[in-house]
Structure 1
Amino acid sequence: MSSITPIRVYPDSTWSEDGPTRGVEAVIEAGEVLQFPNLPFVLTPAERKFLDPRWADAKAKNISVRWPANELRGAAGDAADLAALQAMIGRYAEQSEALALRLFPHYRGHLRRGNSSFRTVNVAGRETSWRKDDTRLHVDAFPSNPMQGTRLLRVFCNINPNGLPRQWRVGEPFEDHAKRYLPKIGRPIYGSAALLEMLHITKRRRTESDHLMLKLHDLAKADAEFQRSSPQARVDFAPGTTWVVFSDQVLHAAMGGQYMMEQTFYLDAAHQQRPEASPRGTLERLLGRELR
């Protein structure tokens, strides 16, 4: 079995075009986590008051801005404060996009901005179902939002004001993980994808690659022995640290931490430097056939 997912550390201290690191598509497509320990997202003095869970709607997991509408969701407060909070999250989106385009020039013109999130809640101790429990190692896949092979590129930053790290576990390489569980996964039931879409249970048609990714997600989270003894390592991201990862490829688990920014980007696998290195490409190679 291959070694666990490595962490690649870079010295960048700026989000802008003049940073030293660029052209590292091959690194992230190989399933590595890019870590920037000297790249903080700096809040203004007025924004520091938002480092408090009271700004989050009690029903929401995260405070987020949805694009392209620039719509704030999951927040509670008066109009002026909400506008300031929205501007803060929007600034993180802009800086994250500038960073991503510098790191991955091959993706220019193909990255699509997804949700921008501000997570105020402490990961540890949050009650949820096993399927939604992100303290368990998993690759990202969503029951109601089929990605149809689209990649999930995420830019995280720990903005904790109390010196507390964001605690992660990272697990085995995606190919090893797929080999572990593929023998247990059958093909989707004929007609089920069309029915789920017709009933609006899914936002679009669930492909066979979505079916496989969901099964990999669920089988790993439900497997207590895998969670306990599979190849894995703990990684602590200190405050002021930014990290970038394809979260549909890297097995990860969030074990602790509070106050984090997150920006999601979507990328069609066809626009990678090596499309065959995507999860869908890996699954097709292991199965010996094209996934539809």
Structure 2
Amino acid sequence: MSTPAPNDVLRTLPDTAWDDTGPTRHVEHLVEGGHVLHFPQLAFALLPGEARFLDPAWSDGRSKNISLRGQNELRGAQGSADDLAALQAMIRRFAAQAQQLVDRLFPHYRGKLRAGNASLRPFAVEGRESSWRKDDTRLHVDAFPSNPTQGVRLLRVFTNLNRDGKPRVWRVGEPFADLAERYAPRLRSALPGSAWLLQALHVTKSRRTPYDHAMLQLHDLAKADASFQSQSPQQTVDFAPGATWVVFSDQVLHAVMAGQHMMEQTFYLDVDNQFVPDTAPLRVLERQLGRALVPRTA
């Protein structure tokens, strides 16, 4: 049985609109403080005919997500040209509404957030086979072997689209600073020249910094630690159909336990553009390890 988290990380808010008519504003301090912003009444409304896309059959079978890169590049889907255009329009509309939401919630970030991919996740979490490293039912912070962030934050907007009444079930773990302190003695520096070699061989899309190397180790150490997974402070959170939630997924320890049919939009934010930059995982790790983890620019 899991140990309850010492503080409830969930902050439930009353918004029912994505645009500027919603009431919640200036909550940078909450999301930077490691809270999950929960909007149980903020649904993404499907247009007539769009419910048919809530089916794994639209996936091309090569990816677990159907994603929209930029405005026009749809990946991971199959179907007729007309169907794919309608699917693309649905995901694009979600991306636009997610942008409206974050612009209202976080006015300090306005003009500084960079939109990444938007995606539809059509598959059920339950029963998915994967290696322990890719098993997202284990508590982890987001860090990606092929896509170094170099300290840039990962802000994510999620919406549960399930039409069968099934919640998206998460476990949420201890604060990031506690995770960093727990595993800091086991973090090792990368081999000299390895970051250059990984980029030269196209294993990584950009240069892996010492920060990325440390975050990947935190990701793997937490997932591989059975005692940590079962006994560390954590709580279970159900996101009902029609709910939206917003979180820095590189900071909040999370595990996805159940659910099917979800939309997600990623945004990127430079640490220096935070309301309180010292709360960023980069700054926490630098304090913990006593050294800079990304190159400083003039």
TM-score range, shorter chain: over 0.9
For 2:61 and 2:198, the matched residues in 1 are separated by 29
How large is the RMSD of aligned CA atoms in angstroms?
A: 1.2
Whether 1:6 and 2:15 are equivalent positions in the alignment is no
Per-residue CA deviations over 1:204-229 (Å, capped at 9, x if unaligned) read: 11000001000000001111111111
Q: How does 1:132-151 map to 2 (within 5 A)?
A: 132-151=134-153
For 1:280 and 1:132, the matched residues in 2 are separated by 23
Runs of 4+ aligned structure 1 residues displaced above 6 Å come to none
Per-residue CA deviations over 1:256-291 (Å, capped at 9, x if unaligned) read: 000000000001111001111100011111122222
Contact in 2 for aligned 1:3/1:173 (Cα 8 Å): no
Q: How does 1:1-292 map to 2 (within 5 A)?
A: 3-4=6-7, 6-67=9-70, 70-292=72-294
User: Which structure 2 segments of 5+ residues have no match?
Assistant: none
For 1:201 and 1:97, the matched residues in 2 are separated by 31
Per-residue CA deviations over 1:184-217 (Å, capped at 9, x if unaligned) read: 1111111111111111111111000001000000
For 2:146 and 2:190, the matched residues in 1 are separated by 15
Q: Which amino acid is 1:166 matched to?
A: R
Per-residue CA deviations over 1:147-203 (Å, capped at 9, x if unaligned) read: 000000000000100100000000000000000101011111111111111111111
Aligned residues: 291
Q: Which amino acid is 1:236 matched to?
A: D
Which secondary structure does the structure 2 equivalent of 1:167 belong to?
A: strand
State the percentage of identical aligned residues: 63
For 2:136 and 2:86, the matched residues in 1 are separated by 29
Q: Which amino acid is 2:110 matched to?
A: R
Which secondary structure does the structure 2 equivalent of 1:249 belong to?
A: coil
Length-normalised TM-score, structure 1: 0.98
